[in-house]
């Protein structure tokens, strides 16, 4: 069960509720959260939980977006020179906002290995290739938050193209769970086998075929 970025349902820690939903099946639940690391710093995390085993592993986002998630050194130097009070205040609040994680994380479950990345991590072919080649991922994930782009179809179409390239390049299925835009499943040969609709909360239920 995969949730978009920014959604970490409270029920994932309620064992009695989980037992009622999944009826004893050892289901893997993948969600995300922000975790504080200091007074103004935090990490963007993917959390792997199992119904029976609780929290199993955490991945901290690696591919950060300049200006939006961290302040590049050149911008940190230039903003004070601008003389603009708003720009300076923005720089001061952004400089230590998001912290990169230490490395990639995968999680084994029922004989297969899941490798997930967070939102703009999708832009990095190196990260997905490393999940497969170095960490043995059988299924690739991306937990996304495209609500920043206010329902942009252009953004959705471009990220879908990128996801299809990752799936084909790595010969692995890729599942993208999004908020404010369709979620979808791409097979290892680049076909989109399922996609949610625009503008309504919904879920995909799909059997994933793994390559031999």
The two tokens of residue 191 are 């076909």
CA angle 39, 41, 46 (to 5 degrees): 130
Separation between Cα atoms, residue 5 and residue 119, nearest integer Å: 7
pLDDT average per 10 residues of sequence, the chain (212 residues):
89 83 89 83 91 91 74 63 70 68 95 95 96 97 90 93 97 95 96 93 87 69
pLDDT at 19: 85
SS3 13: helix
- What helix, strand, coil percent values describe the chain, rounded to 5? 30, 25, 40
pLDDT at 12: 80
Separation between Cα atoms, residue 79 and residue 73, nearest integer Å: 10
pLDDT at 174: 98
**Sign of the alpha-carbon torsion through 17, 22, 27, 30:** negative
Half-sphere exposure for 32 (CA within 13 Å, toward CB): 27
Q: What is the pTM assigned to this prediction?
A: 0.86
Separation between Cα atoms, residue 178 and residue 187, nearest integer Å: 17
Separation between Cα atoms, residue 191 and residue 205, nearest integer Å: 16
SS3 126: helix
């Amino acid at each position: 069960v995969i949730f978009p970025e920014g959604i970490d349902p409270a029920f994932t820690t309620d064992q009695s509720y989980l037992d009622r939903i999944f009826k004893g099946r050892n289901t893997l639940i993948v969600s995300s959260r922000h975790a504080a690391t200091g007074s103004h710093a935090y990490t963007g995390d993917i959390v792997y939980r199992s119904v029976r085993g609780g929290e199993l592993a955490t991945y901290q986002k690696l591919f950060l977006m300049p200006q939006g998630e961290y302040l590049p050194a050149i911008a940190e130097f230039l903003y004070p020179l601008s003389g603009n009070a708003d720009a300076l205040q923005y720089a001061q609040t952004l400089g230590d906002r998001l912290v990169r994680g230490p490395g990639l994380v995968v999680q084994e479950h029922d004989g297969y290995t899941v490798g997930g990345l967070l939102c703009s991590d999708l832009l990095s072919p190196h990260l997905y290739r490393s999940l497969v080649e170095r960490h043995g991922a059988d299924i690739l994930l991306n937990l996304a938050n495209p609500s920043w782009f206010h329902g942009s179809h252009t953004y959705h179409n471009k990220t879908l193209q990128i996801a299809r390239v990752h799936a084909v390049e790595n010969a692995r299925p890729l599942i993208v769970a999004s908020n404010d835009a369709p979620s979808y499943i791409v097979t290892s040969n680049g076909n989109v086998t399922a996609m949610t609709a625009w503008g309504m909360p919904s879920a995909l239920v799909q059997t994933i075929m793994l390559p031999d």
